[in-house]
Amino acid sequence: MCVSMAPAEFSGTTLYCGRLHHADHGLIHVLGYQNTATNLADGPNAMLLHLPARRMSRHNFLSVGRSSDLLERMVDAVRPVSVGTAPDSMDWMERGRGPAVEVFEHDVYTVVLARDARAVPAALAEVPDHQRPALDPELFAFYAERYPGHAIAVCCFDNARATQAKPLLVWYPPLDPDLLTLPALDCHTGGVPDLDSPAPVDHWVVLGTDEAPPGWGAPVEYAPAMRHGLRDYLPDTVIGRHFDGTLPNGDFAISHADLLSGDAERVKRVRPGDA
């Protein structure tokens, strides 16, 4: 479950999305993403994530540090038990200040972060040769058309480090505060995703909110050594469900009202442009 810029296989994906009121940033959404990547290309590759953000910069990417198991701990909290199993610099996307695209290092990735997908092809020239994937201009035209107003993160990696990535964790002021959307579009060929063909899925969708009523969800046991600055972006309790088999190609979404019900079955599969 991912869109790649060259042939690849992705499995064991975990997606997290949470809604919270942060002391410094106000009402934000937080996205967590992790999978196991197998690069089938001869050279570098990249995975693409579209983010429903009003503004973003490199400072929205959070370092998980030694807490690289935080998404695993969320899944452990919601996994059914089987028998016998135990600042101002963020305003550039909204106000038009600053660069329309940034290139920076994050964990094993060189990230190209753009407020318009059409800005990505030129920015790829700034990615080091050993991590720069081949380019299909039609892919970025697709994102510009199908996901207007979304930030695009192109996470470039080389063969040697493809499986060494820690979870990605990013926060952003959302386009719609009351709709939590998790990017799940699927295409592993490097070309444009086929929205008319079903996509195989094998991943967990986990959700959180700081407005959860008492008794909502399952508590997460984070590592005691987690730094406080990271903990401020994470929920106390979560709900979630596992998806497998095949589904229509697209993303996952749930309204905040449905999230407060505590019923993970209300997560919906949505196509680009769906309300």
Residue 93 has pLDDT above 50, yes or no: no
First-to-last C-alpha distance (Å) of the chain: 22
Q: What average pLDDT is seen over the chain? A: 90
What are the CA-CA distances from residue 79 to residues 49, 73, 93, 201, 235 (Å)?
25, 10, 37, 17, 16
Average confidence (pLDDT) over 24-53: 92
Element (H, E) at 49: strand 45-51
Determine the pLDDT at residue 84.
43
Beta pairing, strands 8-22 & 198-209? parallel
Average confidence (pLDDT) over 61-71: 95
Determine the pLDDT at residue 176.
96
- The pTM is what? 0.91
Convert the pLDDT of each residue in 118-148 to its tens digit. 999 999 999 999 899 998 999 999 999 999 9
Residue 251 has pLDDT above 80, yes or no: yes
Determine the pLDDT at residue 96.
46
Convert the pLDDT of each residue in 197-225 to its tens digit. 999 998 899 999 999 999 999 999 999 99
